[in-house]
Amino acid sequence: MKLKNNIAIAENGFIFNAARGDSFTTNPIGIFILQGLKNNWDKARLCQEILVKYEIDEATCEKDLYDFLKMLKHYDLIEE
């Protein structure tokens, strides 16, 4: 699981996929996850870091994270 090349992430949540010309917005936790992916964190690490930073239980965190990763995959922003 890896963020594709040519994905630009702006601090304000603007995401641009230079390979496809798609743009997206995301919220602060979305940016946090994308930056984690850039640092090659795996799912477990991502989950762990979110639990440290945010007030949330593990089950919800994992469920939401997996859904978000699925969307990233759907929009061709990450590869397995």
Please report, as ranges, the residues that interact with another protein according to CB under 8 A.
10, 12-16, 22-30, 32-33, 52-56, 60-61, 64-65, 67-68, 70-72, 74-75
Task: Identify the helix (H) or strand (E) that includes residue 7.
Answer: strand 7-9
| Pick 74 or 80: Cβ nearer another protein | 74
Q: Minimum CB separation from another protein for residue 64, in Å?
A: 4
For 49, list phi and psi in degrees, rounded to 5.
Answer: -65, -35
Given a contact cutoff of 8 angstroms between Cβ atoms, the answer to whether 29 and 46 are in contact is no
| Pick 55 or 80: Cβ nearer another protein | 55
DSSP, residue by residue, 32-52:
HHHHHHHTT--HHHHHHHHHH
| Pick 42 or 67: Cβ nearer another protein | 67
Q: Minimum CB separation from another protein for residue 40, in Å?
A: 18
